[in-house]
Structure 1
Amino acid sequence: MISNKNEELQKYNDDKKQLYIISSKYINVLYHAEKRNEQIPLVYDLLRLNNGKYNYVSIACNYNLATQFEISSPEWSMTHINEAIETNEKVGNKYFLPHLYHFKGRLLYNKGDYQNALVFFKKALHTYHKKKELIYIASMHNNFGMCYDKMGKLDLAIKETNTGIQILTQQKKINNEQKVFIYYMKGSLAQYYLQLKKYDTAEKLLLEKWRFSFKNDNTRMALFAAKDILSIYDITGKRTDEDKIIESLKIIESKLKNVEDKIILTKLIKDYYLRNDNYKHFKGISMKLADLNDEQDQFAKNELSKTVDAIDSYIIKEINKDKEDEKKKNILLFFFLVFVTAVFIGFIIILRMKKKKKEELREKEKIIFETSKEILEKDLQLQKEKVKNLHLNLNLKTETQKAFLENLKKIKKTKNIEPEEILKDLQFKINNLIQLDKKDNEIINESSLENKLFMDKLSEKFPVLTPQELKLCVYFKLNLSGKEIALLEKFTVGSIRVYKAKVKSKIGLTKEEDLGNFLNTI
Structure 2
Amino acid sequence: MVLRFLFLFLVLLYSAKVNSQLLTDELARLNNLGAVFDDLNNDLKQAKKTKSISQTTMAHYNLAIFCSNHRVYTEALHQYNNTINLLEEKKNDTLYAKVLNQVGSIHLELRNYNYAKDYFIRSEKAAELIRDSVLLALATSNLGSCFEKQKKYKEALEYQNKSLQIFYKLNNDSGLAIVNESIGSIYEDLENYKLAELYFKKALKYNKNEKNSRLASIYNNLGDTYRKTNRLNIGLDYTNKALSTAVEIKNTLEVASAYKDISKSYNLIGDYKNAYTFLQSFLKVDTENKRLQSANQSNALQHIYNSKEKESQIQYLLQLNKANKSQKLVLVVLVFMVVVFGVVWYLYTLKKRRHISKELDFKQRILKIELDKKQAEEKNLQKQLHIKTASLSRYSLHLSQKNKMLSNLSLTLKNSLQRNNVDLKRKLTELIKEIDFNLAQEKEWDEFMAFFKEIHPNFINKISNAVTSKLSPAELRLCILLKLNLSSKEIASILRLTPDSVRVARYRLRKKLPIDSKEELSLYLMSF
TM normalised by structure 2 equals: 0.47
TM-score by length of 1: 0.47
Larger-Rg structure? 2
Q: Compare relative contact order (CA 8 Å, sep 6+) and give the higher one, 1 or 2.
A: 2
